[in-house]
Amino acid sequence: MPLMRRLLLMLMGLLLAGSIGWSSVHRPEQVTILMPAPFVDATADQVKRFNAENNGRIALNVIRGPRDTESISDLAISSLLLGTPPFDALLVDVTWLPKYVAADWLQPLDPWFDSDDIESLVAGAQLGNSVDGALYRWPFGADVGLLYWRKDLMPEPPQTAEELIQIAQNLRAEGRVKEGFVWQGRQYEGLSCNFVEFLSAFGGTWLDPETGQPTFDSEAARLTAHWMQQLITQGTSPLAVSNYSEPETLQAFKSGDAALMRNWPYAWAELQSESSAVKGRVGVSTMVAQPGASPAATLGSWGFSLLRGSPHQQATAEAIRALTSPDAQRDRFLRQGYTPTHAALFHDPELLEASPVLPQLEEALSIAEPRPITPLYAQMSDLLQRQLSGLLTEKRDPDQAMDQLQGATLTLLRSAGGVS
């Protein structure tokens, strides 16, 4: 009897060990990604497909974050500061990346995305993903600022700053359009995006690429500030522009009241909808630039970043790859209008048919300009927005404003421990 009992016990033990081992092998690896609410809906199908394809091996779960851009970051940071993030990856806006990297919260993606992968991306999408040579973010979409122009009012879009003013003023004088050029002049992040493009038109950059110091005391910055103020004082742009964000700008252009508009790619679909007064009469180009200066399109985009403490790095990388695959990109472009990141897709017949401005988008992406890549970007942008808003609404002296801005930015750098 003892032998039988012993054998039975051994059998039970083996079965137990086996089942534990079995379940640990067969329990799917949980991957959790935090995304803003709109993107959760946009990727729902792709998530389902991924889980089906990896059934039992990887279970991808998406956390629906707040709708508001900054709130997503606040949510992530509150977890990261306490040291216990409940997710493996999150969608990161291009301007936060330096901050997250500097805080040492992100894991480089180089082991999973090599240079071939990077080469397959369209030019603009390759920017804003690396800090100090390491890849920290894999792009989800590719957004750049565009200049929309009315094909029925002008033969060609303006190429220089003077041309823009001239064309707009002429059209207004002739009474063919109510407003000339509409753009985002409200005191918010959009204003900084517009500024980057205008500054590039005059040959300037926000931070000196070599020293990393602000350059608001440069000739380019002064010219830009003067030009922006003139747009309003000379009537090229309505005073209301100083309170416009994207929706208001789009509304003005869509109703046929404006000849030129600066906005993001999403506006195109709106302008071709039935309710648009300018359907079929809109062209897309890049922002103007002075002779000798190159035009720029501000880069705005979301991308996936992997968190350093994640215990499921391989699986998460796979999930990221799946969510940003060419098929997923195609899907999202055709259904929700999200700009693709794969270079090949820009020559895809199906996509070209759906959106004839894809070539212009690609061109704009090739001159994409990221906003300053610094962990202090948010504070810098805040300082810029305030000064510019004062320029536009209270008619402050542009030279003074730029000097003040220079001083304030330097003080910021000094107080936060940056070199000065």
Residue whose tokens read 């008619």 = 395
Q: 179-182 and 58-65 as β-strands: parallel, antiparallel, unpaired?
A: unpaired
64 sits near another protein (criterion: CB under 8 A): yes
Q: Which residues pair with 32 in a beta bridge?
A: 61
Output the smallest distance, CB 78 to another protein, in A: 5
66 sits near another protein (criterion: CB under 8 A): yes
From candidates 19, 30, 55, 78, binder to another protein by CB under 8 A: 78
From candidates 37, 59, 240, 334, binder to another protein by CB under 8 A: 37
Span 96-135, contacts to another protein by CB under 8 A: 99, 102-104
3-state secondary structure of 29: strand
Among the listed ranges 72-80, 277-285, 328-336, 346-354, the one in contact with another protein (CB under 8 A) is: 72-80
155 sits near another protein (criterion: CB under 8 A): no
Output the smallest distance, CB 375 to another protein, in A: 5
38 sits near another protein (criterion: CB under 8 A): yes
CB nearer to another protein: pick between 73 and 313:
73
CA–CA separation, 300 vs 284, rounded Å? 18
CB nearer to another protein: pick between 71 and 233:
71
Q: Which of 375, 394, 414, 372 is nearest to 215 (CA)?
A: 372
From candidates 382, 396, 397, 403, binder to another protein by CB under 8 A: 382
Contact indicator for 83, 326 with CB cutoff of 8 Å: no
DSSP string, 238-273: -GGGGG--HHHHHHHHHTT-EEEEEE-THHHHHHTS
Q: 143-144 and 134-135 as β-strands: parallel, antiparallel, unpaired?
A: unpaired
Phi, psi of 31 (to 5 degrees): -115, 130
Among the listed ranges 45-53, 69-77, 175-183, 353-361, the one in contact with another protein (CB under 8 A) is: 69-77
CB nearer to another protein: pick between 247 and 356:
247
Q: Which residues of 235-267 are buried (b: 16+ CB within 10 A; e: fewer)?
A: bbbbeebbebebebbbebbbebebbbbbbbbeb
Per the rule left: phi > 0, alpha: psi between -120 and 50, beta: everything else, 352 is: alpha
Beta strands in 157-257 (DSSP E): 179-182
From candidates 24, 84, 115, 273, binder to another protein by CB under 8 A: 84
Alpha helices in 302-397 (DSSP H): 313-323, 326-336, 349-354, 358-366, 377-394
Helix (H) or strand (E) holding 8: helix 2-26
Encoded one letter per residue, x for contact with another protein by CB under 8 A and - for no contact, window 160-199 reads --------------------------xxx-----------
Output the smallest distance, CB 245 to another protein, in A: 11
207 sits near another protein (criterion: CB under 8 A): no
Contact indicator for 404, 387 with CB cutoff of 8 Å: yes
CA–CA separation, 398 vs 386, rounded Å? 13
Output the smallest distance, CB 191 to another protein, in A: 11
350 sits near another protein (criterion: CB under 8 A): no
334 sits near another protein (criterion: CB under 8 A): no
257 sits near another protein (criterion: CB under 8 A): no
Encoded one letter per residue, x for contact with another protein by CB under 8 A and - for no contact, window 399-418 reads --------xx--xx-xxxxx
CB nearer to another protein: pick between 328 and 376:
376
Tell me the two tokens of residue 351.
Answer: 């996509």
CB nearer to another protein: pick between 41 and 156:
41
Among the listed ranges 59-67, 321-329, 336-344, 364-372, the one in contact with another protein (CB under 8 A) is: 59-67
77 sits near another protein (criterion: CB under 8 A): yes
412 burial type by CB count under 10 A (0-12 exposed, 13-18 middle, 19+ buried): middle
From candidates 2, 86, 175, 311, binder to another protein by CB under 8 A: 86
Helix (H) or strand (E) holding 143: strand 143-144
Which residues contact another protein (rule: CB under 8 A)?
37-38, 40-41, 64-68, 70-71, 73-75, 77-79, 81-84, 86, 99, 102-104, 186-188, 375-376, 378-379, 382, 386, 407-408, 411-412, 414-418
